[in-house]
Amino acid sequence: MSFYTENIAPDSFSGALFAVEGVRDGCTILNGPTGCKFYHSAISDSQFMRHATYSPLEYSEGFFGQPRIPATYLDGHDYVFGSGEKLSSILRMAAGKKYALIAVVNSPGAALIGDDLDRLIAGERRGGVPCFALENSGFSGSFGSGYEKAMLKILDVLELEKSPRKNKPAVNVLGLSIYQKYFGSNYKTIKALLERCGIETISAPGAGDPVEVMKNIPSAALNVVVYPEYGTETAEYLKERFALPYIIPAEGPPIGFYSTESFIKEICGYFGVSSGQADTALEAARAGAYLHLSRFSSLLGMPRGCLFSVKADSSAAYALTRWLCTYLGMIPAAVSVLPGGDGVFTKKLSGFLDSVNHGEALTNSILETPAQILLADGNTISAARLYGQKFCGIEIALPSLGYVDVTEKTLFGAEGGLFLLEQIVNGLRYVMRT
């Protein structure tokens, strides 16, 4: 059954825009109609704010009062006669704002005009700022395909060859995006985990690092692909260009205690270093979790046996589903994988669900299948409530319901495991009372 409230997954066009917006001092110029910019600009600014103060009056030409993603505001005339004049004007404006990277991304409609964007950019560049054009982000491709297409363009125009290889364990983190929930705290958590093991984190391209930090990418000894949906092509590119090896952790991103432990041990095993300090922190988190779980379970018997549903990328869905089933004893009701999922993790997810005799969860509708806990994006949570479901929704992805996170939260590592556990336990209390 097709539901009119079903959330439309962001496509390759959004992926390309958010890849460039994930560079802290980069500027994305959207060559397209005004309506294409507002959502992407709002999300980029809400995910990480570049300026402490904000006045809409400071952002006029092309910005339309928003601090991110100026647009050429194409109309019918431009689709006939070309966007060159408007684009040149926006490029000159951007060149005067001291960005370290400028990218021009065509909207799907603007890609049909046929403007020579490279020629226009070459005529307007100022001060040697790296610049590139992405004439076609992939039209109706997946978010990940557009994200990686733009990321490869970014890495192409940066002077990466000037960075020498470090003589100690050092990694890049690939696959993080500013369109992911708590992306900044997730990045910090990974850095802290690896630091405990004596492993330096050089950069996570697309996750808020500035250009100067990204230029050090070749100095790492290993690339770690946290989300293969958004990082495998980039890892292959860096392997071919700089002979940089990469790994995709077998248990997916470090969501939940089990995947976090596996994530750390796999990276430490590659470098031949001890994971002792990270293991100690993880065990302390497990001990704290046990005290709360044992008390909660002794009174209500939960969360064991409670139903949960998940909507996420295949790698995250696998890590979450495995942890909730094996650690908390919960039962998968419906598991939905976002478009463009990694084939390996989709297969692992299917195999795991079969092993716990709930293979049907992959085909069950989240909106039609009852569950006490739903981990998904805000739109999916809203849609399920609209259809009369009684549950507690836990946001693990965008679009958001609009909650403003003042304190930092993470989905990764020991802290992320405890945060999710807190949400689940309190969510079940809420469900039982209503």
Report the candidate in 253, 250, 162 with the shortest Cα–Cα distance to residue 212.
162
Q: What is the pLDDT of residue 117?
A: 81
pLDDT band of 81, cuts 50, 70, 90: low
Calculate the alpha carbon distances from 389 to 337, 382, 397, 420 in Å. Answer: 20, 10, 20, 21
Q: What is the mean pLDDT of the chain?
A: 91
CATH number assigned to the domain covering 12-157:
3.40.50.1980
Top CATH class of 277-433 equals: alpha beta
pLDDT in tens, 212-228: 999 999 999 999 999 99
Window from 85-99, 163-177, 373-387 with minimum mean pLDDT: 85-99
The pLDDT value given to residue 164: 78
> How far is residue 223's CA from residue 395's CA, in Å, rounded to a whole number?
28
Residue with the two structure tokens 């992805």: 397
Q: Which two tokens stand for residue 57?
A: 């009056």
Q: Is 270 left (phi over 0), alpha (psi -120 to 50) or beta?
A: alpha
Q: How confident is the model at residue 3 (pLDDT cuts 50, 70, 90)?
A: low
Query: Candidates 3.40.50.300, 3.30.450.20, 3.40.50.1980, 3.40.50.150; correct CATH number of 162-255?
Result: 3.40.50.1980
Judging by beta carbons within 10 Å of its beta carbon (0-12, 13-18, 19+), is residue 162 exposed, middle or buried?
Answer: exposed
Given a cut of 70, whether residue 259 has pLDDT beyond it is yes
Mean pLDDT along residues 138-157: 93
Mean per-residue pLDDT, 155-177 = 89
pLDDT digits (tens, 9 = 90+) for 104-115: 999 888 777 777
Q: What is the pLDDT of residue 1?
A: 54
Rounded distance between C-alpha atoms, residue 35 and residue 23, angstroms: 23
pLDDT band at 165 (very low <50, low <70, confident <90, very high): confident
> Given this chain, do its domains 12-157 and 277-433 carry the same CATH topology?
yes
For the chain, the three-class secondary structure string (H helix, E strand, C coil) is CCCCCCCCCCEHHHHHHHHHHCCCCEEEEEECCHHHCHHHHHHHHHHCCCCCCCCHHHCCCCCCCCCCCCECCCCHHHHHHCCHHHHHHHHHHHHCCCCCEEEEEECCCHHHCCCCHHHHHHHHCCCCCCEEEECCCCCCCEHHHHHHHHHHHHHHHCCHHHCCCCCCCEEEEECCCCCCCCHHHHHHHHHHHHHHCCCEEEECCCCCCCHHHHCCHHHCCEEEECCHHHHHHHHHHHHHHHCCCEECCCCCCCCHHHHHHHHHHHHHHHHCCCCHHHHHHHHHHHHHHHHHHHHHHHHHCCCCCCEEEEEECHHHHHHHHHHHHHCCCCEEEEEEECCCCCHHHHHHHHHHHHHCCCHHHHCCCCCCCCCCEEEEEHHHHHHHHHCCCCCEEEEEECCCCCCCCCCCCCCCHHHHHHHHHHHHHHHHHHHHHC
Q: What's the Rg (C-alpha) of the chain? A: 22
Q: What is the pTM of this model?
A: 0.94
pLDDT for 325 beyond 80: yes
Domain-wise residue ranges, the chain: 12-157, 162-255, 277-433
Residue 80 pLDDT exceeds 80: no
Q: How far apart are CA 411 and CA 256, in angstroms?
A: 8
Separation between Cα atoms, residue 380 and residue 395, nearest integer Å = 9
pLDDT 10s digits, 4-42: 556 678 899 999 999 999 999 999 999 989 889 999 999
| pLDDT for residue 90 | 87
pLDDT at 94 (0 to 100): 85
Helix axes 12-21, 143-157, angle to 10 degrees: 40
